[in-house]
Amino acid sequence: MDKVNSSVVSEFVLLGLSSSQELQLFFFVFFSVLYAVIVLGNLLIIITVTSDNRLHSPMYFLLGNLSFVDICQASFATPKMIADFLSEHKTISFSGCIAQIFFIHLFTGGEMVLLVSMAYDRYVAICKPLHYVVIMSRRTCTVLVMVSWAVGLVHTLSQLSFTVNLPFCGPNVVDSFFCDLPRVTKLACLDSYIIEILIVINSGILSLSTFSFLVSSYIIILVTVWFKSSAAMAKAFSTLAAHITVVILFFGPCIFIYVWPFTTYPVDKLLAIFYTVFTPILNPIIYTLRNRDMKAAMRKIMTYYLRPKKISEIPLVARNSLY
């Protein structure tokens, strides 16, 4: 940590998405609305899953946890990005930059493992339906969620171990809207080639292993139902379509940025927006619009809280206060 304290750089300058004043005003409104939808949409999923007894199953338990991770993932940098659209000086402290690197890898690493857990849940439900209740018990689901957070924590701490002691003695301009690890590492006042390779290996092992497991599980499911009937095949594909869509949209940008040879491209900023902002908003849309149980439960909750209350439904204490 002495090397950190001796670094000349005390803050980093974030170039953001655009230097155009008109575009920044548009981005401010656009991303403010998106962020509000992300938080409210995922909160609605969490409330629906916890309040409706019919949704107290492993699949919805994991979906509720995914929504919580999505809120966290969208919140580590998006609020600051939105505030920076109205600021001329887009800076972040050294400790704030390290915190952003910590949280992005914690949440993305955890979400990768959580998506694997959801794929495993679908595999058991489709390929071993008679043993589903026994295999996917409450204890198993809790362990899967705890493992996802543990893997995310180990992943982000290992990434920080490569970065936190780097000396930053001059360049401090990050061409992104948050402290993106590949771009920050390149600002160090030494040859960071070995560290870049270690970061790629770290991210590559996690990304490619979880992605390979997901693809393998989907192939096994489809092959299994292929021999049963065309109706079972259609039902399985319909169930997996949402999962496959989320996996492609989430893993695609991550693999391109962190597993590709360590070179930064202008498109990296667009891809970073995709997995930090767009994926958290697509998850609730994809998983709820294709799920009749979730839509029915949400409709029931919204009807209950939004429709006018009858006098007989108002609690007695509240009724007395009206007179």
Query: What DSSP string runs through 63-98?
Result: HHHHHHHHHHHHHTTHHHHHHHTT-S--EEEHHHHH
Q: Exposed, middle or buried, 280 (CB in 10 Å: 0-12/13-18/19+)?
A: buried
Give the three-state DSSP class for 76: coil
pLDDT at 61: 93
Is residue 50 within 8 Å of 82, Cβ to Cβ? Answer: no
pLDDT at 90: 86
- In angstroms, what is the C-alpha Rg of the chain? 23
Mean pLDDT computed over every residue of the chain: 82
Nearest to 57 by CA among 221, 259, 297: 297
pLDDT at 272: 79
Is residue 1 within 8 Å of 165, Cβ to Cβ? Answer: yes
Locate 162 and state its tokens. 């490569």
Residues of the chain with pLDDT under 50: 1-6, 261, 317-318, 321-323
pTM for this model (two decimals): 0.84
Question: Pairing relation of β-strands 91-93 and 11-14?
Answer: antiparallel
The per-residue pLDDT for range 275-294, each reduced to its tens digit, is 788 888 887 777 776 677 78
Instruction: Number of helices (H) and strands (E) in the chain: give both, helices first.
Output: 14, 3
The per-residue pLDDT for range 130-166, each reduced to its tens digit, is 899 999 999 999 999 999 999 999 999 998 887 888 8
CA 178/CA 204 separation, integer angstroms: 21
pLDDT at 239: 67
